[in-house]
Amino acid sequence: MKTKNNITKESRLARFPYARSIKSLILCAVVMIGFQTPIQAQDSIQYTKPSWYFGVAAGGNINFYRGSTQKMDAELTVPTTFHDGSGVGLFVAPLIEYRPANSRWGIMLQAGYDNRSGKFNQVTTPCNCPADLITDLSYITVEPSLRFAPFKSNFYLYAGPRFAFNMSKGYTYKLGINPAFPNQTPTADVKGDFSDVNSSLISMQIGAGYDIHLTKESKKTQLVLSPFVSFHPYFGQDPRSIETWNITTVRVGAALKLGTGHRIQQPVKTDAFVPAAVVVAEPEVKFYVDAPKNIPAVTNVREIFPLSNYVYFDLGSTKISSRYVLLKKSQVNDFRQDQVELTTPENFSGRSNRQMTVYYNVLNIVGDRMAKNPNTTIRMIGSSEQGAKDGRAMAESTKSYLVDVFGINPARITVEGRVKPVIASVQQGGTVDLVMLQEGDRRVTIESNSPELLTEFYSGTNAMRPVEIVTGQVAPLDSYVFINADGGTDAYTSWSLEFKDDQGAVQNFGPYTKDRISIPGNAVLGNRAEGDYQVTLIGQTKSGKTLKKETKAHLVNWAPSTVNEAMRFSVIYEFNRSKTIKLYEKYINDVVVPKIPKNGTVEIHGHADITGSDAYNMNLSLARANDVKSIIQNRLNKLGRHDVKFVVNGYGEDASKAPFDNKYPEQRYYNRTVIIDINPTK
């Protein structure tokens, strides 16, 4: 049997190779803390959060042995097999960490000393002697990890592979004496190296940690202490190429990390700033003001409002929605199409105005027109995702209303049910905004061959005669001040505005939580015709700081006119379309163009609903506006006219400029529009 002498002082130090590493770790911490003394005098300078951290990690490996081992090496196979065990070993390693300041994701790398020593459970040999087996396994380990902070806080998770290269594989085998023979001479301990040890291992780890800042987060040099715990399962952790011994490890420790931020260039402070506020340039927030132009007097508007031939139903219901105006039979004689704005829906919410009130009276307008034209007939086609039977039930609801309330002969109304409308929004395989698209397809389409119900330039069966509305004077869209704080939703918990005129008078507005808001020009100017303003954005960051941005704007007040009258026309587009149907092209050529006065101005505003992405809808709305401009311009050229000025804009789904809300399908339908404003000669 192999024997060796008792351990000398030098050999005992050899079994504890990490004593010097602990001293180095303590020294490193003291040195890094010492760096903070000169830095703390720099409170007036602001720095970004570090992206790179360098430091050292240390902890204890709690090792759990499972499986069996009996053969120690080529010279020693013990008489009794050892099963299971446990132990504690040291882990110490330098580390590098990269994590961008505003990102949840990052990467980590640790490479150092990793001890997996332990002791097997004691066994009894055939001589009734107790036997112990102590291991001295250690590795040089390389552990790259992916880091993830799920809440953008100091708590983080990490996981990755572990590459281990064996450095020590020693063992100590101790055989005790038979308790029945206490005077027996003890057997000397056997020390040696395990045979058949794998020189390298590939396994995995998963863990969690928490960053504790030991310095202020505004400092250039950041010292962070990160307690952590990780789990290393037994997969790939078989120390030897023989037998069944494997190791599972739980590591508990802490990392000390040092990072350096970059100095933030500060703008020069002026008297307009609040002294208590910290002014910091925030490039991720773009602040600018769209101020009203010098618009001449705006006039009364005579609007030709298109009447949709769709009645939308709530998902899962075959009853007419309460947002439509439903009259009682006793109210029919008092109903007037030219005063339809006086008859408002039961649920009248959001930004819906008198134009949407016209639409919510669509069944009353149809019933009134049919009652005055007894030879007219209509067909109602219900479309339902639940099948043709459900669609027909929706059509029967609208028919019953016209028959019961307006007294229309049932024979004048035919009904039909189908699964999808002719022009459907829901496409096969589509998943984006599916609920809104289904709401748009769940409708009753009103069709007619009776000219009395159709526009004078009708083509087909669904061109309902529009309604003419004369509106009072209202401030035009261009008279509003639009404040843009792009990125403000992410950077600020809230922000407010300060308007300071050339006399030093200050007005405050807010707080706001959106990236874009609008304020009526007269709310700032009051009775002044125009003025120059210094506009200051004051943002409250999520870390509690107050940040400011400045710009200048020239505002012009809007004053109503009592002399001229403008005209407004609308062109409605089907879902995801940017080309008008032939009906509208003829309507524009024969009705709209003749209304354009000599040297007049035509303002064309394209819009889209909220279905789809912002960028796509912006391009779609501009394409629609240019489509209408092209039709008008081609007609004017054929007439030899080149005196008309065009103003063309595409507003996409911009809620601050959209004609209506996007809560209901009929609102989204009317938002797929191009508005044509014909202004008189200036």
CATH number of the domain bearing residue 592: 3.30.1330.60
Average pLDDT, the chain: 80
Is the model's pLDDT at 232 over the cut of 90?
yes
pLDDT of residue 344: 41
Q: How many residues are given for the chain?
A: 682
Q: Are residues 361 and 429 in the same domain?
A: yes
User: For the domain that residue 287 is a member of, what is the CATH number?
Assistant: 2.60.40.10
9, pLDDT greater than 60:
no
Residues 78 and 142 grouped into a single domain:
yes
pLDDT digits (tens, 9 = 90+) for 553-589: 888 876 655 445 678 888 887 755 545 555 678 888 8
% of the chain beyond a pLDDT of 70: 78
Based on the fold, state whether residues 300 and 318 are members of the same structural domain. Answer: no
- For residues 58 and 171, what is the distance between their CA atoms, to the nearest angstrom? 24
Confidence of residue 436 (pLDDT cuts 50, 70, 90): confident
Number of domains in the chain: 4
What pLDDT score was predicted for residue 108? 95
- For 340-377, letters b (16+ CB in 10 Å) and e give bbebebeeeeeebeebbbbbbbbbbbbbbbbbeeeebb
Identity of residue 318: T
Task: Say if residue 292 is in the same domain as residue 325.
Answer: no
- Out of 125-129, 205-209, 474-478, least confident range: 474-478
Answer yes or no: is pLDDT of 18 > 50: no
Pairing label, strands 560-572, 298-305: parallel
What is the DSSP-derived secondary structure letter of residue 339? G
Residue range 182-202: mean pLDDT, rounded: 92
Check whether 348 has a pLDDT greater than 80: no
What is the model's pLDDT at position 544? 79
Per-residue pLDDT band at 43 (split at 50, 70, 90): very low
Give the pLDDT mean for 464-493: 68
Q: What is the pLDDT of residue 653?
A: 86
Containing 388, the helix (H) or strand (E) segment is helix 388-406
Q: Which domain holds residue 366?
A: 311-462
Q: Which of 462, 488, 518 is the last residue of a domain?
A: 462
Confidence of residue 272 (pLDDT cuts 50, 70, 90): very low
Residue 629 lies in a domain: yes
Place of tokens 């027996």: 184
With CA atoms as reference, report the closest residue to 54 among 173, 223, 237. 223
Per-residue confidence (pLDDT) for residue 276, from 0 to 100: 47
Q: Which residues pair with 383 in a beta bridge?
A: 418, 443
- Same domain, residue pair 571 and 615: yes
Q: Is 526 exposed, middle or buried (0-12, 13-18, 19+ CB in 10 A)?
A: exposed
Question: Counting beta carbons within 10 angstroms of the beta carbon of residue 255, is it exposed (0 to 12), middle (13 to 18) or buried (19 or more)?
Answer: buried
Between residues 303 and 349, the one the model is more confident about: 303
- Name residues whose C-beta falls within 8 Å of residue 270's C-beta, 6 or more positions apart in sequence: 550
335 domain-assigned: yes
Structure confidence by residue, pLDDT tens digits, 491-545: 888 888 899 998 889 988 877 777 777 787 777 888 787 888 899 988 888 777 8
Strands of the sheet with 286-290, listed across from one edge: 286-290, 480-486, 516-520
621 compared with 682, residue with greater pLDDT: 621
Q: For 668-680, write each residue's pLDDT tens digit.
A: 888 888 889 887 7
Boundary (domain end) residue, out of 260, 293, 324 = 260
Query: In angstroms, rounded to a whole number, what is the distance separating the alpha carbons of residues 229 and 250?
Result: 7
Residue 350 has pLDDT above 50, yes or no: no
Tell me, yes or no, whether 84 and 215 share the same domain: yes
Residue 80 — very low, low, confident or very high, per pLDDT cuts 50/70/90?
Answer: very high
Q: Does residue 282 belong to any structural domain of this protein?
A: yes
Label residue 416 by pLDDT band (50, 70, 90). Answer: very high
| Tokens standing for residue 406 | 């307006």
Of 523, 499, 493, nearest to 511 by C-alpha is 493
> What torsion do the CA atoms of 235, 241, 247, 253 make, to the nearest 10 degrees?
-90
Point out the domain boundary residue: 404, 435, 462: 462
**pLDDT band per the 50, 70, 90 thresholds, residue 164:** very high
pLDDT at residue number 338: 59
Nearest to 365 by CA among 253, 249, 448, 287: 448
Cβ partners under 8 Å of residue 55, min gap 6: 32, 94, 95, 97, 224, 255, 256, 257, 258
Query: Rounded distance, CA 94 to CA 89, Å?
Result: 17
Same-domain check for residues 167 and 55: yes
Q: Is residue 1 one of the residues assigned to a domain?
A: no
pLDDT at 295 over 70: no
Q: Residue 251: helix, strand or coil by DSSP? A: strand
Of residues 645 and 349, more confidently modeled: 645
* DSSP letter, residue 490: H
| 459 vs 152, higher pLDDT | 152
Residue 31: the pLDDT is: 43
Alpha-carbon distance of 449 to 457, in angstroms, equals 13
Average pLDDT over residues 112-140: 95
Could you tell me if residue 3 is inside a domain? Answer: no
Q: Is the pLDDT of residue 33 over 70?
A: no
Across residues 375-384, what is the average pLDDT? 92
Rounded Cα gap, residues 666 and 365, in angstroms: 16
Question: Residue 525 has what pLDDT?
Answer: 82
Decide if 309 contacts 395 (C-beta within 8 A): no
Looking at the structure, do residues 379 and 481 belong to the same domain, yes or no?
A: no
Greater pLDDT, 473 or 651 = 651
Q: What is the pLDDT of residue 656?
A: 75
Task: Pull the structure tokens for residue 440.
Answer: 């748009």
Residue 249 CA to residue 400 CA, distance in Å, equals 75
Please tell me which residue, 680 or 265, carries the higher pLDDT value: 680
Q: Find the mean pLDDT for residues 236-253.
A: 95
Strand partners, 289: 483
User: What is d(CA 221, CA 263) in angstroms, rounded to the nearest whole number?
Assistant: 11
pLDDT of residue 577: 57
Strands 118-120 and 298-305: unpaired
Domain co-membership, 128 together with 16: yes
Amino acid at 574: E
Please indicate, yes or no, whether residues 326 and 453 belong to a single structural domain of this protein.
yes
Which pLDDT belongs to residue 654?
A: 84
**CA angle, residues 298, 340, 357, in degrees to nearest 5:** 75
Is residue 2, in this structure, part of any structural domain at all? no
Secondary structure class of 181 (helix, strand, coil): coil
As a whole number of angstroms, the distance between CA 678 and CA 673 comes to 16
Q: Examine the domain organization and report whether 272 and 385 are in the same domain.
A: no
The answer on pLDDT for 269 being more than 50 is no
Q: Percent of the chain scored above 90 by pLDDT?
A: 38
* Helical spans, DSSP H, in 485-601: 488-491, 521-525, 582-587
Nearest to 31, CA basis, from 287, 258, 281, 329: 258
Q: What is the pLDDT of residue 345?
A: 43
Terminal alpha carbon distance of the chain: 115
Give the Cα separation of 431 and 578 in Å (integer): 22
With DSSP H G I counted as helix, E B as strand and the rest as coil, what are the percentages for the chain, rounded to 5? 20, 40, 40
Same domain, 384 and 286: no
Residue 214 has pLDDT above 70, yes or no: yes
4 occurs within a structural domain? no
Q: What is the pLDDT of residue 365?
A: 87
545 part of a folded domain: yes
